[in-house]
Structure 1
Amino acid sequence: MVVFSRVLCYTVFNIKMSSINPGDELQPKRTEKNRRRMMITPIEFDKALSLSRPLFIDVRSESEFNEDHIPGAINIPLFNDEERALIGSVYKKQSPKQARQLGLKILSPKLPGLVYSVQSQGEGRQIILYCWRGGMRSLSLATVLDLMNTHVFRLNGGYKSFRRWIRSYFSQDNFPFQVVVLHGLTGTGKTNIIKKLAERGVPVLDLEGLAGHRGSVFGSVGLPEQPTQKHFESLIWRECHKFKSNDYLVVECESKRIGKLVLPTLLFNEMKAGRHILLYDTLEHRINRIIREYQVDKNREELAKTLGNLEKNLGVKKVKEWQSLIMEEKTYSVLKMLLVKYYDLLYKYPDHPSAKYELSLSSVDENQAANVIT
C-alpha cells in the first residue's frame, strides 16, 4: 500500500509525501539504471477498434457511465458519485492540492481491489482504460497497473474523444448503408420479423430494441427505462460498425421520435430515401399479436395508465371508458377500437398488397415473410 501511495503521489497527483506524512521526504531518483519501461500505451479510438480483443474499461463514476459509455465497456470506477462530488467540492472551495490529497486518501485503500478487477476481467484481452477526457483518473490506475507489470492502453482524450467520434459519424454527408424499411399497420409483426431476420444473419437495426420502446402509446409497457439520447446514438453506431462490411441495413419504419429518444437525422433521412417493403395482416391477427407481445394479463394496470397519454387525441371521456374496459379484461375490444379508430387512420397503410411498395408480404406466417426478405 505504501508503494502504491508513493507512486500516485509522485507520478500522478504530484503531491510530496511530506504533505501527508510529515518527515517522510523520500523522493526516488529516476536514473538510467533504475528507469523502467512504462507499459502504458496511448491509443486513438479508431486504432483501439482494430485490436483483436479490446476491452474498454471506464473508470468514471457510475452516473457518468450510465449516461453514456463506449458500448461493451465495463465500469470499474475509481470514485463513486458521492466521492467524486466531495472531491469536486474541495477543489472549488479549498484548493486543487487539497482535492488531490483527498483523492489519494480515498483511492489508496481501493487500489488492490481495482487492480484485481482489471486483471481478472481483462485476462486475455487488450485493456483500454478511459475516463472523462484522458486525464488523472485513467492515468492513476494505468500507473499502478504498470507497476504490477500489466500492460494497458490509455484512450487519448477519454470518453470525450469517443463522443466526438459519434457526432462525426452521424454528421457525415452520406450514410454508409442503403436502408431497407419495413412498413405496416400496428400489429403486423414488423419487430418480430426484424428479430427473425437477425437470427438469419441479415444486417438489421432493431431501433425499438435499442431505444427500449415499441413506438406506440403502449411502447414502454413492461420495459425498463429508456437509455439516454447519447447512449442511444452510441448503440446505433455500435450496430452500424458491426455491419460495416455490408452495404445495406434492414429497419422497421419509425417516426423521428421513439419514446423520449430522437433518431439521428442522417439515419432518418436515409430511411425516407430507402427501399420500402409493406407487411399486412388481418385485424384479428394484429390484435392477438399485440395481446401476446404486450403481455396484457401481466401489465393490465400499466396499459390502462399509459392510455391516458391519448386524452388530447381521443378525448377524456373515451379514454376513461377504454381504461375501464381494460381493467374489466375487455382488452380485445379496446385494442380493436384503438386500431380502427386511431392508429390505422393515423398511419394509413394498406391492409393488402400495394404497388406503392417494392414488395408486399403477408405477415400471417412471420417465418415465411422473413425467408422472402432474406
Structure 2
Amino acid sequence: KLATGQPAQIDFENRLAINLLKKRAAGIEQFVVEDESRLVGSCNVPLELHQAMQGCPVVWLEDSFEHRVERILADYVVNLCAEFISVKGEELGFGLFADRLLQSLNNIHKRLGGERHQRLLALMQTALEEQQRSGAVELHRGWIEGLLGEYYDPMYAYQREHKAARIEFAGNQFEVSGYLSERSSRR
C-alpha cells in the first residue's frame, strides 16, 4: 500500500495490459506472478488473467520466519513510513502512516478474532508510539511476528495444501531463481 493511494480499477487494468504487451513485444513469453489472491490491494486482477493463473504450475517460494519478519519490517514499517514522510512531511506523514498500519490491521479484525486483534493492536500502538518518540522500529517485530505466526502462516499452509498438485518446485529465493532460469532456458 502506497502513500499516494491506489489506482482506480480501470487504471490498474490499463497499466497491467500495457506492461504485459511491452513484455511480449520484447520477446518475453513467460511471467512469474504472485498467486495469493485476486485482489492487489483494493484492485482486482482481471478475471480472465486470474482464471488463467489458476491453471498454471506453481513455484513455491520458501523463506525463514526471521527473514520474513525483517522483510515486512523493512517494507511496511521503515520504507512505507519514509514514503509517507517524503510525500506529506514529517508530522502529517507519520500520522498517516500510523493510520494506514492501524487500518490494515483493523481490516482483518473479523478474521483475526477479537482477542487476537486486540493483542496485536496493542503491540502495534506501542510500537508506533515508540517509533514516533525515538525513531526506533524494533518493537514492530512483536506484532509482525504475531501476525505471521498466528494468521498468515496457517493461511499459507492451507493454500500450499490446496495447491499441492500444481506445485512443480519449492525452494528458497536462490533455489527458485535458479529453477526459473533453468526452466526458461529449456523453452
TM-score with structure 2 setting the length: 0.68
Mapping 1:209-248, distance limit 5 Å = 220=1, 222-244=2-24, 245-248=27-30
Distance 1:228 1:323 in 2: 29
Match of 2:167 in 1: 357
Match of 1:161 in 2: none
Q: Does 1:303 align with 2:101?
A: yes
Match of 2:31 in 1: 249
Residue 295 of structure 1 aligns to which amino acid in structure 2?
V
What do residues 298-354 of structure 1 show as CA deviations (whole Å, max 9, x unaligned)? 34453123211122112334323322211222321211111121112223256xxx8
Match of 1:325 among 123, 138, 159: 123
Distance 1:302 1:235 in 2: 24
Distance 2:146 2:67 in 1: 15
**Inter-CA distance 355–266: structure 2 relative to 1 (3 Å threshold):** closer
Q: Does 1:342 align with 2:177?
A: no
What do residues 51-91 of structure 1 show as CA deviations (whole Å, max 9, x unaligned)? xxxxxxxxxxxxxxxxxxxxxxxxxxxxxxxxxxxxxxxxx
- The answer (yes or no) to whether the contact 1:278–1:359 under 8 Å persists in 2 is yes
Distance 2:99 2:44 in 1: 27
Mapping 1:130-209, distance limit 5 Å = none
RMSD after superposition? 2.4
Distance 2:36 2:3 in 1: 18
Q: Secondary structure at the match of 2:167?
A: coil
Residue 234 of structure 1 aligns to which amino acid in structure 2?
N
- The answer (yes or no) to whether the contact 2:56–2:166 under 8 Å persists in 1 is no
Deviation at 1:361, TM superposition (A): 1.7
Q: Does 1:370 align with 2:153?
A: no
Q: Secondary structure at the match of 2:33?
A: strand
Mapping 1:96-111, distance limit 5 Å = none
Distance 1:274 1:356 in 2: 7
Higher relative contact order (CA 8 A, sep 6+): 2
Greater radius of gyration (CA): 1
Residue 7 of structure 2 aligns to which amino acid in structure 1?
P
- The answer (yes or no) to whether the contact 2:59–2:176 under 8 Å persists in 1 is no
- The answer (yes or no) to whether the contact 1:296–1:303 under 8 Å persists in 2 is no
Residue 340 of structure 1 aligns to which amino acid in structure 2?
G
For these two proteins, the number of residue pairs brought into alignment is 148
The runs of 5 or more residues in structure 2 that have no matched partner are 82-96, 128-138, 182-187
Distance 2:35 2:5 in 1: 22
**Inter-CA distance 327–296: structure 2 relative to 1 (3 Å threshold):** farther
The runs of 5 or more residues in structure 1 that have no matched partner are 1-219
Q: Does 1:264 align with 2:46?
A: yes
Q: Which has the higher strand share?
A: 1
**Inter-CA distance 296–328: structure 2 relative to 1 (3 Å threshold):** farther
Residue 77 of structure 2 aligns to which amino acid in structure 1?
Q
Q: Which has the higher helix share?
A: 2
Distance 1:308 1:278 in 2: 29
Match of 2:56 in 1: 274
**Inter-CA distance 296–317: structure 2 relative to 1 (3 Å threshold):** farther
Deviation at 1:280, TM superposition (A): 0.4
Distance 2:75 2:109 in 1: 24
TM-score with structure 1 setting the length: 0.36
Q: Secondary structure at the match of 1:249?
A: coil
Q: Secondary structure at the match of 1:227?
A: coil
